[in-house]
Amino acid sequence: MITLYTAATPNGYKASIMLEECGLPYQVHAMALSKLEQKQDWFLKINPNGRIPAIVDHSEDDFPVFESGAILMYLGDKSGLFMPQNTPKTFKQHSLVVQWLMFQKSGLGPMMGQANVFYRYATEKIPYAIKRYQNESRRLLEILDQRLADNEYLAGDYSIADIANFCWARSAHWSGLDTADLTHLTRWIATIHARPAVQRGLEIPAKDQKPRSAEEIIKAAQSIVT
């Protein structure tokens, strides 16, 4: 059994979607981010960085894993799914998946995250910051669109690279971005969203544990980022 510590965020959805895709048994602990539960001492023992998501694998002597990308890789290695093994025959495919995973972790996620902060959450609107992070987010989404012009998925077969990038790209509107002209990206988002496991993962945590409106989401975020 795995315990998933999560909230309704793009990074949180990465973990819940992967757990659903792999069919691994897990239980959910919905974190009250607005109450800074993620900064409490008990959780910092699981994730010293005080962020979600995190998991504890009780079948492996209560082994904790933090950082969403590391969780995807761990679950991929554990299940043998959506993550090519790093063997002499498949090391290039393994590397390709990791490259596109790192693209999200080092680029798309941080840039869209900052766009969200300055465009949605900051009480003081700074036009330069909004434009800077929106432009960079758009550039990265265009790279995904170009990649997907000739590829059904980012790294061959459907993989953790797709899960990671999907969870951010699907919410581009929240960053104030219009991606309707990125037709390959739009096709890919729709294809992934149609997967039953993805739809189940996007319902974690339960609806009654999520903010119900844009105003509630913004208020909760402001309590964290300000």
Are residues 74 and 96 located together in one domain of the fold?
no
pLDDT of residue 121: 92
Count of CB atoms situated within 10 Å of the CB of 1: 10
Task: Judge whether 222 lies within some domain.
Answer: no
Q: Kindly report whether the peptide bond that precedes residue 110 is cis, defined as omega within 30 degrees of 0.
A: no
Are residues 146 and 187 located together in one domain of the fold?
yes
Task: Judge whether 46 lies within some domain.
Answer: yes
Model confidence at 223: pLDDT above 60: no
Per DSSP, the three-state class of 29 is: strand
Percent of the chain at pLDDT > 90 equals: 86
**How many structural domains does the chain have?**
2
pLDDT tens-digit map of 83-100: 998 888 889 999 999 999
**3-35 in b/e burial notation, b at 16+ Cβ within 10 A?**
bbbbbbbbbbbbbbbbbbbbebebebbbbebee
CATH of residue 64: 3.40.30.10
Task: Judge whether 218 lies within some domain.
Answer: no
Task: Judge whether 77 lies within some domain.
Answer: yes
pLDDT of residue 89: 84
Range of lowest pLDDT (42-51, 87-96, 138-147, 217-226):
217-226
Are residues 114 and 76 located together in one domain of the fold?
no
pLDDT of residue 88: 83
Task: Judge whether 108 lies within some domain.
Answer: yes
Are residues 35 and 67 located together in one domain of the fold?
yes
Are residues 8 and 102 located together in one domain of the fold?
no
Task: Judge whether 223 lies within some domain.
Answer: no
Split at pLDDT 50, 70, 90, the class of 207 is confident
pLDDT of residue 206: 82
Q: Which residue has the higher pLDDT, 90 or 207?
A: 90
Task: Judge whether 204 lies within some domain.
Answer: yes
CATH of residue 122: 1.20.1050.10
Model confidence at 215: pLDDT above 80: no
Model confidence at 24: pLDDT above 90: yes
Model confidence at 109: pLDDT above 70: yes
pLDDT tens-digit map of 121-130: 999 999 999 9
Report the predicted TM-score, pTM, of the whole model to 2 decimal places: 0.93
Are residues 184 and 205 located together in one domain of the fold?
no
Residue 190: domain span: 91-194
- Please return the burial class of 61, using the count of CB atoms within 10 Å of its CB with bins 0-12, 13-18 and 19+: exposed
Model confidence at 198: pLDDT above 80: yes
pLDDT of residue 34: 86
Are residues 22 and 106 located together in one domain of the fold?
no
Please, what is the average pLDDT of the chain? 93
Strand partners, 223: none
Are residues 78 and 153 located together in one domain of the fold?
no
